[in-house]
Structure 1
Amino acid sequence: MSVSRKPKVAFIGTGIMGAPIAGHILDAGYDLTVHNRTKSKADGLVAKGAHWADTPADAAKDADVVFTMLGYPSDVEDVYLTTNGLLRATKKGAYLIDLTTSSSQLAHDIYEAAEIDDKHAFDCPVTGGEDGAIAGTLTLIAGTDEKTAAPVLPILQTFSSKIYYMGGAGKGQTTKLCNQVSLAACMIGYADAIALAEQSDVDVSQMLDVVSHGMGGSVALERLAPKSVAGDYKPGFLSEHLRKDIGLALSQAEDRGITLPGAETAFTLYDMLCQIGGKRMGTQAITLLYQEEATAAAAGLDWSLLDAESIVKGDEDDDGKSNHKDGCECGHDHGNGECCHHHDHKGDVASNN
C-alpha cells in the first residue's frame, strides 16, 4: 500500500454501526466509496462526499483498504468468497477488514484465501454499540498482530479508542463471542433483577442505582437497564443480532465439546423475543418477556406468534430470506421456545444487513 498518499477506502454495509464508522473515515479525509444493500442507508454518506457503488465488487475494485460491516456470516461468505466477491474483485496488496461479528472458522478461511492471492484479510469485530460508533470510541478486537495491522492503523484509529491484537485469524471473532456470552448473561441478570424488584414493591430505579455500585453492576445494567425501565426499546444493537452471536458461540462451544448453560438460557429467551416480534428491537427489550401480555403488546410484541405455523417454519428477514433456524445456527426449529442444547449448532446464519 502506497505511503505517499492516503489510501482509498471502500466500506460495505452502512447500517446502524457501519454508517457512523464510515462517517469517521470520511471525516478524516479519506477517499471513500460505499455500498449497502439498501441504498438509502448510505445517502447521508454520499451527501457528505462519499462515492456510491452499485455492488460490493464495484466499491472495492480500486480500494487499498476494504471494510465490511454485515449482519450474518452468510453475508460475509457471499460478499467475500463468491465468484464476484471481494477476494476476486480487489487488487493485489489490498487490505480486507471484516468488522462483522461472525464465525471464527470463516475468518480463518478468508485470511488463508487472501494470502494466497497476495492480499491481506483479518477479522476485526467491534464492541461499544451504536453510541461508540457515533462517538468514534469503539473497541476493536483484531484477529491479527500489531505489525500486520500497522499499515491500516491510522484508519482504524478514526473510529476507535482501543485496539486489541489477538494474534491470529479468527481469534478476534472468538474473543468477541466471549464478550457477547458475558453480555447476554448480564442482560438476563438485570432483567431478572428488575422483575424481582417490581414484584416486591421496590423502587426499580433506586434498586438499579444500588446494584450499579455493587458487585452486581455491569455496563449493560448501567447503560441499558434504565432504557428498559423507561420503555425505550430503540435498537443500539438488534436483538436478532445478539441471538445470532449467542448461536455462534454455542456452535463454537459444541465444536470444542463444552457446554455454556448461561448462553443456552440467553439464547432461549432472545429466540423467544425474536419470534414474537422483537427481533428489530434493542437488546434491552428482553425485559418485555417478564411483563404482562398487555404491556408487551403495547410495545409491539405478540405472544400468539409462538404458536403460529409461520414461526415454526422460520422467521423471514426484510428480503424474505429465512432467518429463524439460522439465527441459532442449529438448523432446527424452536417455535416452542425451548433451548436447543441437544441439537447441532453448526452451520451459517442467514443474511440480514
Structure 2
Amino acid sequence: MAAASEPISPSNTRVGWIGTGVMGQSMCGHLIRAGYKLTVFNRTVSKAQPLLDMGAQLAHSPHAVASQSDVVLSMVGFPSDVRSVLLDPKSGSLAGLRPGGVLVDMTTSEPSLAVEIASAAASKGCYSIDAPVSGGDLGAKNGNLAIFAGGDESVVHRLSPLFSHMGKLNYMGSSGKGQFTKLANQITLASNMVGLVEGMLYAHKAGLDVESYLNAISTGAAGSKSLDLFGHRILKRDFAAGFYVDHFVKDLGICLKECQNMGIALPGLALAQQLHVSLKAHGEGNLGTQSLILVLERLNNLSLH
C-alpha cells in the first residue's frame, strides 16, 4: 500500500474484496470502475462472475485474497461469517495479510468482534477498521451509502479515497464504534418501517387511495427515506430483497443483546424484532424488509391489493 504520506490510488494500492452479494457486488464494482486492481472471493463463484467480467481476479480463499492485496474489504452475512473469513488461522484473510495491511469489515456485525479483530490485526502489525453501511441496494448501486467507520482515525482517513467511491464516510470513533452506529441506525429504521406499514394499512382501511396518501405525506413531517425507498415498492408488491429479512433479524438480535449488556430497555426495538421474526417463521426471510406489510396484513385479515 502507499506510504503514509502518499494518498491511496489505483497505481499504488491493491484491493481485495470478500462477499459479492446484493450489496458487495455493486460496491466492489465502483472500485473496479475507478481503476483499482481487485481480487475477489465469494463462496458461490457465480455471484462474483459480473465482477470477473469487469476485470477482477478470482481467489479461492480469503487467505488468497489477502496475500495479493494491501487492503481487504469484506461484506458478508453474519458475525460467524466475519469471524471465518477474517480470523480463521488457515483460510482467513488476516493470516494472509502482510504487515501494514488493512482489513475493512463492512458487514453489520457485533461491536465486540470488531474490537477482537482490531486487536488480532494489531498483534500482526496490521490494521482493522469496522465500516458498516446504510442505504440498501439502491445506495450501493448509486454509490451514495452512509459509511460508519470505527478504528484508528488516521487509517480511516487514508482509506477515504476508497470509501469515496461507495458513499459518504463518517468517522465515529475507536474500534467497534462503527458497528454501534450501524446498530443504532437499524433501531431507528426498524421503528420507521413499522410506522410506514401501519400508516399504509390504516390509510387503506380508511378508504384512501394509498398511493395518493404516500405522495401527500412525503413532503411533510412523516416523510422519510423509508417511505421514499419502500412505500411504492410495497404498493407494487415488490418484495425483492435490497436488504434481507434474515439479515435484519440478525441485526436487531445483536441490538437486543447489546441492550442487555448496557442495561437499557427499547420496547420499540423489541416489537420490531418480533414482527420481523414472524416473517422468518412464515418462510419469508429471503424477502426484503419492506415485506413487513405482510405481517400487518395477516394480523388484520386485510390486503392492500
TM-score range, shorter chain: over 0.9
Is 1:62 equivalent to 2:74 in the alignment?
Answer: no
Match of 1:112 in 2: 119
Letter of the 2:207 partner, please give it: D
- Report the AA paired with residue 156 of structure 1: F
Q: How far apart are 1:207 and its partner, in Å?
A: 1.6
Secondary structure class of the residue paired with 1:236: coil
Whether the aligned pair in 2 keeps the contact of 1:53 and 1:59 (CA below 8 Å) is: yes
Q: Is 2:156 the partner of 1:149?
A: yes
Alignment-derived partner of residue 168 in structure 1? 174
The gaps in structure 1 that reach 5 residues or longer are 300-353
1:150 CA displacement: 2.6
Task: Give the equivalent residue in structure 2 for 1:192.
Answer: 198
AA matched with 2:119: E
3-state SS of paired residue (1:67): strand
Letter in 1 for 2:157: A
Cα distance in 1 for residues equivalent to 2:45 and 2:179 = 28
CA distance in 1, matches of 2:288, 2:188: 17
Runs of 4+ in 1 over 6 A off after TM superposition: none
Please give the TM-score of this superposition, normalised by the length of structure 2: 0.93
Contact 2:15–2:71 (CA under 8 A) maintained in structure 1: yes
Aligned length: 296
Query: Alpha-carbon deviation of 1:6?
Result: 2.3
Please say which of residues 16-25 and 200-209 is displaced more in the overlay.
Answer: 200-209
Residue 159 of structure 1: how far off its partner (Å): 1.4
- Tell me how far apart the structure 2 counterparts of residues 126 and 179 of structure 1 sit (CA, whole Å): 10
Matched letter for residue 97 of structure 2: T
Pair 1:139-2:153 in alignment:
no
Equivalent position SS for 1:17: helix
| 1:31 CA drift (Å) | 1.0
Per-residue CA deviation, residues 62-111 of structure 1 (Å, 9 max, x unaligned), is 21000000100010011122212222111111010000000000001101
The code of the aligned residue for 1:199 comes to K
Structure 1 position 174, deviation (Å): 0.3
Name the CA distance, whole Å, in 2 between partners of 1:111 and 1:145. 9
Matching residue within 43, 51, 55 for 1:49? 55
Q: Which residue of 2 aligns with 1:158?
A: 165
2: CA distance between counterparts of 1:2 and 1:226? Answer: 45
Percent identity between matched residues is 38
Q: Do 1:145 and 1:165's aligned partners in 2 also have CA atoms closer than 8 Å?
A: no
In the alignment, the residues of structure 2 paired with residue 149 and residue 207 of structure 1 have an alpha-carbon distance, to the nearest angstrom, of 43
Residue 100 (structure 1) aligned to one of 102, 107, 114:
107
Shift in Å at residue 296 of structure 1?
Answer: 9.8
Within 1, Cα distance between the matches of 2:276 and 2:219? 27
Q: Which residue of 2 aligns with 1:91?
A: 98
261-270 vs 145-154, greater mean Cα deviation? 145-154
Q: How far 1:222 moved relative to its partner?
A: 2.0
User: In structure 1, the residue corresponding to 2:174 is in which secondary structure?
Assistant: coil
The structural deviation recorded for 1:145 is 4.9
In the aligned structure 2, how far is the partner of 1:282 from the partner of 1:266? 15
Q: Distance in 1 between matches of 2:185 and 2:21?
A: 21
- CA–CA separation in structure 2 for the residues paired with 1:93 and 1:248: 31
Alpha-carbon distance between aligned partners in 1 of 2:17 and 2:201, rounded to the nearest angstrom = 42
1:98 touches 1:122 (CA, 8 Å); kept in 2? yes
Q: Which amino acid aligns with 2:82?
A: V
**Where does residue 322 of structure 1 map in the other structure?**
none
Aligned residue for 2:265? 259
- Return the alpha-carbon distance in structure 2 between the equivalents of residues 91 and 214 of structure 1: 52
- Determine helix, strand or coil for the equivalent of 1:184: helix
Q: Mean alpha-carbon deviation: is it higher for 225-234 or for 92-101?
A: 225-234
In structure 2, distance between residues paired with 1:126 and 1:292: 32
Decide whether the 8 Å contact of 1:8 with 1:30 is kept in 2.
yes
TM-score (normalised: structure 1): 0.81
Deviation digits for residues 262-299 of structure 1 (CA, Å, limit 9, x no counterpart)? 11000001000012021111111100112259x999x9
Cα RMSD after superposing both structures: 1.8
Match of 1:210 in 2: 216
Q: Does 1:247 align with 2:253?
A: yes
Q: Does 1:18 align with 2:24?
A: yes
Q: CA deviation at 1:151?
A: 2.4
Give the distance between the partners of 2:210 and 2:253, measured in 1 at CA: 31
Q: CA deviation at 1:216?
A: 2.0
Alignment correspondent of 1:238: 244
